Amino acid sequence: MDIPKTMKAAVLFDLGDLRITEVPVPVLAPGEALIKVNSVAICGSDPAIIAKGWKGYPKLGEFIPGQAFSGVVAAIAPDVFEFSVGDRVAVEPHKGCGRCDNCLRGFYTTCLNYGNYELGHRHYGFSTNGAYADFAACHVNTLHKLPDSISFEEGALLTGVGTVMYGYERIGWVGAGETVVVTGPGAIGLISAHVAKILGAGRVILTGTREERLAVGRELGVDITINVREENLVDAIMDLTNGVGADMVVECTGQSAPAAEVLDFIRKNGRISYNGIYHDPVTLQLDKIVQWNLLITGPKAEGRLNLARAIPLMADGRMNLKPLITHTFSLDEINTAFDTFTGRVGGAIKVIVQP
């Protein structure tokens, strides 16, 4: 592949000021491949980073956001043997330092040297440059081959899927046949519900307030939807479970009141994965954790190679996230893309930017 010297990129010049400009194509460090970016999925944290920055983000005027993406290998560093030019790949945004305790034990999304570029840590689109550009330099640790049966657009959603799956891994996987309640039909909630079913949940119940989103859930295999504007959530779950409560709850609203309410419909010995972004503190009846003997976790991103786990499931069609992809924009239209995403214009769920 012929690599140009410069490329088009969306650069953050100031907080809130993201502009398309021409920048040098990144130079590869050892272990890296140059990815010709095809599709970038806008994630919930992207607008926040653009508006407010992120601890240790690259210099304004140079910072290229974009974390969840797919593309094609355009070049490889001399020591790279795992990938070849032309390979279709999905990219995960986290690379650990590889030398702290957490990385050495496999927990690279909670690397203790977060943001330390010299020691080898990378977080594309957060602490290092990301993917809203023609090209991105990515370490092999973050690359996963995409079979032809997965489109680039769906491949860009795999980071989200990996995060959801990591939550399930961390809480002991989905138990076969269990009743899983997913609260909040945002993109992560919809993926959580879809994945629960694929991993062997018995019944998946999705809750929310927007009927059209609940309908997407049903399209993705959800068994039962509950509109919490119309039904009492706790009563409904208790009715559906003979008064026992849900075996597992995956909280995806990111809101404080629903996050607390989970304790009212989880079963004794149940498990909770908090998958939202909780901007505000949450007031819990903590005693319930003890008395009900609960297990609780929250997944920090697509840890322990869970992005890779998702690929065969998507490749053979069991996982189908096409209903989530509502809009596609070119890189030049990136600000429109963000407006569409944040304003949920036209029922936007996942918005793809294609450089």
Subset of 207-266 contacting a second copy (CB under 8 A): 223, 244, 256, 259
Q: What is the distance between the alpha carbons of residues 87 and 292, in angstroms, rounded to a whole number?
A: 49
**Of the ranges 106-114, 125-133, 322-330, 346-354, which one interacts with a second copy (CB under 8 A)?**
106-114
Q: Is 98 near a second copy (CB under 8 A)?
A: yes
- Taking the complex as a whole, how short is the minimal distance between the CB of residue 116 and a second copy, in angstroms? 9
- In the list 27, 281, 317, 346, the residue contacting a second copy (rule: CB under 8 A) is 281
Angstrom distances, CA of residue 352 to CA of 120, 125, 154 = 29, 15, 9
Q: Is 170 near a second copy (CB under 8 A)?
A: yes
Location of structure tokens 């973050």: 142
Query: Residue 329 — φ and ψ, nearest 5°?
Result: -130, 155
Of residues 317 and 343, the one with the C-beta less far from a second copy: 317
Q: Is 159 near a second copy (CB under 8 A)?
A: no
- Taking the complex as a whole, how short is the minimal distance between the CB of residue 83 and a second copy, in angstroms? 11
Q: Is 269 near a second copy (CB under 8 A)?
A: yes
Q: What is the distance between the alpha carbons of residues 161 and 147, in angstroms, rounded to a whole number?
A: 16
Q: Is 169 near a second copy (CB under 8 A)?
A: yes
Q: Is 147 near a second copy (CB under 8 A)?
A: no
Query: Residue 52 — φ and ψ, nearest 5°?
Result: -125, -5
- Taking the complex as a whole, how short is the minimal distance between the CB of residue 242 and a second copy, in angstroms? 10
Query: Residue 71 — φ and ψ, nearest 5°?
Result: 180, -155
Identify whether the C-beta of residue 227 lies closer than 8 Å to the C-beta of residue 211.
Answer: yes
- Taking the complex as a whole, how short is the minimal distance between the CB of residue 14 and a second copy, in angstroms? 26
Q: Which helix (H) or strand (E) holds 73?
A: strand 68-76
Q: Is 308 near a second copy (CB under 8 A)?
A: yes
Of residues 84 and 269, the one with the C-beta less far from a second copy: 269
Of residues 14 and 82, the one with the C-beta less far from a second copy: 82
Binding mask 124-143 for a second copy (x = CB under 8 A): ----------------xx--
- Spell out where 87-131 has E strands: 88-91, 94-95, 122-123
Residue 269: exposure state from Cβ atoms within 10 A (0-12, 13-18, ≥19): exposed
Of the chain, the end-to-end C-alpha distance in Å amounts to 17
- In the list 77, 224, 234, 282, the residue contacting a second copy (rule: CB under 8 A) is 282
Of residues 133 and 164, the one with the C-beta less far from a second copy: 164
Q: Is 122 near a second copy (CB under 8 A)?
A: no
Q: What is the distance between the alpha carbons of residues 96 and 293, in angstroms, rounded to a whole number?
A: 33
- In the list 213, 309, 327, 350, the residue contacting a second copy (rule: CB under 8 A) is 309
**Of the ranges 60-68, 211-219, 292-300, 330-338, which one interacts with a second copy (CB under 8 A)?**
292-300
Among 87, 92, 7, 37, smallest CA distance to 354 is for 37
- Applying the rule CB under 8 A, the residues between 22 and 81 that interact with a second copy are 31, 79, 81
**Of the ranges 13-21, 162-170, 320-328, 335-343, which one interacts with a second copy (CB under 8 A)?**
162-170
Q: Which residues face 21 on adjacent strands?
A: 9
Q: Is 101 near a second copy (CB under 8 A)?
A: yes
Of residues 253 and 340, the one with the C-beta less far from a second copy: 253
- In the list 295, 335, 342, 344, the residue contacting a second copy (rule: CB under 8 A) is 295
Q: Which helix (H) or strand (E) holds 75?
A: strand 68-76
Torsion angle of alpha carbons 264, 268, 273, 279, nearest 10°?
30
Q: What is the distance between the alpha carbons of residues 209 and 213, in angstroms, rounded to a whole number?
A: 8
